[in-house]
């Protein structure tokens, strides 16, 4: 059964390119991204893992740890990492899970039989410090992920977890946000001292509160 937003993120103990880890223990108080790759030595995945390595400072700034999974074994991963570092001009600095028995892929419903009986789709799970699923994205194996969107989702999740706001269409850091309907009009000045704009009674905008 597919994991849904709000579900507990299944824990696992696995071998990775960075050694053995217990997922929940490794995550600690950080946010986490777990994302899957159809197989090692595949072209799109190579670019994605390289991009992840280049974005390490951005993930660190957001207190977010990244963990990749592929159904190939550890030896294969280690060889592939050398290729990634060479071709993408990077240093892969995050764990890649060896999942030949498909334990993680199955727990997170990453294999979609109508697409492929063996390879994982491009799943992305955003996991909070409370070890719950906060969001997920799923692409077919042929479509590489948009990492600007992945960072945008993290920014939105972290902002909306701390303030009574939601992020509108195409929102990025620094733009105005929506005040949630649960906030009463009379409480807005105390909660949002930067001011607000009423477009409709149900559509109230305010500057991003943590900027």
Question: So which residues are the catalytic ones?
Answer: 45
Give the separation between CA 205 and CA 178, rounded to whole angstroms: 5
Give the separation between CA 191 and CA 87, rounded to whole angstroms: 49
Q: Which tokens in the block code for residue 125?
A: 């799970």
CA-to-CA dists, residue 154 to 59, 64, 86, 93, 113, angstroms: 9, 8, 29, 20, 29
Nearest to 17 by CA among 67, 90, 86: 67
Side-chain half-sphere CA neighbours of 193 within 13 A: 3
């Amino acid at each position: 059964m597919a994991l849904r937003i709000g579900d507990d993120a299944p824990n696992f103990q696995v071998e990775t390119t960075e050694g053995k880890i217990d997922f929940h223990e490794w995550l600690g108080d950080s946010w986490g991204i777990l994302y899957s790759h159809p197989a090692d030595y595949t072209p799109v995945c190579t670019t994605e893992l390289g991009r992840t390595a280049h974005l390490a400072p951005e993930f660190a700034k957001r207190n977010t740890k990244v963990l990749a999974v592929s159904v190939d074994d550890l030896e294969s991963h280690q060889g592939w990492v050398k290729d990634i570092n060479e071709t993408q001009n990077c240093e892969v600095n995050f764990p890649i899970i060896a999942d030949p028995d498909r334990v993680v892929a199955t727990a997170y419903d990453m294999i979609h039989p109508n697409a492929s009986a063996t390879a994982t789709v491009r799943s992305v799970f955003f996991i909070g410090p409370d070890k719950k699923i906060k969001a997920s994205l799923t692409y077919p194996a042929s479509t590489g992920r948009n990492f600007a969107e992945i960072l945008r989702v993290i920014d939105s999740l972290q902002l909306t977890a701390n303030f009574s706001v939601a992020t509108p269409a195409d929102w990025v850091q620094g733009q105005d946000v929506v005040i949630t309907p649960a906030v009463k009009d009379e409480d807005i000045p105390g909660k949002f001292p930067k001011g607000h704009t009423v477009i409709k009674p149900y559509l109230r905008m305010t500057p991003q509160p943590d900027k």
